[in-house]
Structure 1
Amino acid sequence: MSTSRHHHYLSQCYLKGFTQGSAKKSKLLVLDLKSNKKFESTPRNIGGTRDFNRVEINGIDPEIIEKTQSNFESKAATALKKLEETSDFSGETKGIILELIGMLAIKSPEMREHLAKPQAQIANHIMAMTFESKERWDFQVAQIKKDTGEDVSGGKTFEEMKALYEQGAFKISVSREHQIHVELVGMQRITELLHQRNWIVLEAGDDAGEFITADNPVSLTFHNPASFPFMSPGFGSPDTMVYFPVSKSLALIGEFRGADGVKTTNKHLVAMLNSKIIANSYQRVFASKSSFNYIAKGGAMQSGNKLV
């Protein structure tokens, strides 16, 4: 049975809304802010990495996550198309797109690394405590052997294992399976909080220009960041705004205040929201063409041609 090894964390059905022809095989412009380069590509060739969704669990299909995500993305493609055609953000369309936003908010290599670091640090602290005494070490070894049948000492003495630890011989890492589990739990919670917000559908007006997106397309910010200088916003924080570009002509803003509705945007607002996406990106910005607008430092409106 053939398996796919190139797994997308940025859904192709989402990226195609920012291509020149709004299809999976249509091209979009990629602006790499780290390498200061730009090039054209297709949704198929960006936003993915090898075995990102693969799991290695006895008795479980290694492709179960990839297949489940693929099935969901088929529904998401239909929902995105319907929203684009009608601007009606309600019912099943709303539910599916909010789930897509929840997925894109947490599934990325950068977020995995970010979430794995504190877990590895905690494990390292626990290991340091374990080597504080021979009695504690012997107890931990016996407990693990009782629970799993595995002898983690590898036949070495406490003194030998402690010396290896102090020499930095052990590398602590978080398994991909655990990272995927954390993502699935996080997606569910984020989606629940997104449902509690009121949503405005933003339509790009005539001569307003196009919305752009990035490798981190879900922007979560405080309404007044100066009031929270040492805090990061959470999806449940009341004084926050979620911004999500749906396509080059449509975007969503979710808040805990106001009411649902549809609004037409002007050139300045589109440029401001594009700036938010640029600031929120990990490395890459995506657009159908380089003539999009954004607000540069100092407040002046600039063309995307000057971004890299």
Structure 2
Amino acid sequence: MTEPRKHHYISQCYLRNFTLNKNIYVLDGKLRKSFSTNTGNVCSLRDFNTIYENGERVQTLENAQSQFEDVAAKAISKVINGEEFSGSVRDTLLELMAMFHVRNPVQRNKYREIEEIGGGLGLLATDVDETYIRAELELSMIGVVKTSLSQRGWKVVKAAEGAGEFVTSEFPLSINFKDISSEDSSYIPPLNGINTRVFFPLTSNIGLLGVHGVDNCVVEAGMSEIAYFNRLTIARSDRIYIRDIDNCNIFLEGANPTPVNCLITNITHQ
């Protein structure tokens, strides 16, 4: 049996929570185009999870990720159904956030830059395939990021009726300063920064907000808040993923919440 070589770095079990009639709407700012497609056609690369052993492809990492995604899908469903964000649900979803943050093309390119100068750093070894080195580095970093995320209290942010929906992206975990006036778009604060907050869109109607020194709770978000979180989500990605373009807003600097369908028109007609 031929093993699949299209590997998702943003899991389909997650992306399906941003679909309408089984399709997800894509806005590509870099290519200046938009289209609707199924989740199998986005956030994937050929052999992204492949490891080579003695010149042969092995799917150990892809198979392990697939098994984890089954657990993650159940955890997402539990939050949707109102289960408390704690215990194994919290642990699983923090790992999912960390995996998306570490194992994606943007971060991998950064690791490659390190590897190119990293012989002295012990990141390269002539007797070990580079895919193993890369996998070990990424898995180690997932643990570091998850530990950092676990030190925060988490608010389950639910969209109020009529407030619009959350979007997601190829880099969905965002971090910013708690004080909006302190924001500097050219500077991304560290994940362990004390005066920061981390946001992750879990579904089109639920987001997770991590802040140091707060208790886990459930809060409701209005249109302006959701539009602001959407702005954070898309800041580091060329592609936005949307469930319903007629029910979504993004807060742009110096403006009121802007409907996504207007943004789509502006981008694709430039």
Cα distance, 1:125–1:44 mapped onto 2, change above 3 Å: closer
Cα deviation, residue 227, structure 1: 5.3
CA positional deviation for 1:2: 2.3
Cα pair 1:104 1:217 within 8 Å, conserved? yes
- The alignment's C-alpha RMSD in Å is 2.5
Whether the 8 Å CA contact 1:87–1:201 is kept in 2: the answer is: no
SS of residue in 1 equivalent to 2:26: strand
Which letter does structure 2 place at the counterpart of 1:214?
Answer: S
Q: Which deviations, in whole Å up to 9, do the C-alpha atoms of 1:115-165 show, x marking residues without a partner? A: 221331344999xxxxxxxxxxxxxxxxx9xx96xxxxxxxxxxxxxxxxx
Quote the residue 1:5 is aligned against.
5
Query: Is the counterpart of residue 105 in structure 1 residue 101 in structure 2?
Result: yes
The residue correspondences of 1:210-289 to structure 2 (distance < 5 A) are 210-224=165-179, 232-281=188-237, 283-289=238-244
1:296 aligns with 2:245: no
5+ residue gaps, structure 2: none
Match of 2:136 in 1: 181
* Segments ≥4 residues shifted beyond 6 Å: none
Equivalent residue, structure 2, for 1:33: 29
Please report the TM-score for the alignment, with normalisation by the length of structure 2.
Answer: 0.88
Cα distance in 2 for partners of 1:183, 1:124 equals 19
In structure 2, the CA distance between the partners of 1:125 and 1:97, relative to structure 1 (3 Å rule), is: closer
Instruction: Supply the distance in 2 between the matched residues of 1:271 and 1:46 (Cα, whole angstroms).
Output: 23
2:112 aligned residue: 116
8 Å CA contact 1:87–1:262 kept in 2: the answer is no
Q: Give the counterpart of 1:64 among 33, 36, 60.
A: 60
Q: Paired residue for 2:162, among 184, 194, 207?
A: 207
Tell me, in whole angstroms, the C-alpha distance in 1 between the residues paired with 2:120 and 2:222. 52
Match of residue 20 from structure 1: 20
Deviation at 1:238, TM superposition (A): 1.3
- Closer, same or farther in 2 for the Cα pair 1:116/1:87, shift >3 Å? same
TM-score with structure 1 length normalisation?
Answer: 0.78
Counterpart amino acid of residue 108 in structure 1: N
Q: Number of residue pairs matched? A: 259
Greater strand share, structure number: 2
Give how far 1:59 is off: 10
**73, 78, 90: which is aligned to 2:69?**
73
Pairwise CA distance, 1:221:
1.8
CA-to-partner distance for each residue in 1:204-253, whole Å, 9 max, x for gaps? 01111111100100002222476586854222221211100000010000
Alpha-carbon shift at residue 3 of structure 1 (Å): 1.2
Any gaps of 5 or more consecutive residues in structure 1?
127-143, 149-173
Question: Matches of 1:289 and 1:211 in 2, distance apart?
Answer: 10
Q: Whose radius of gyration is greater, 1 or 2? A: 1
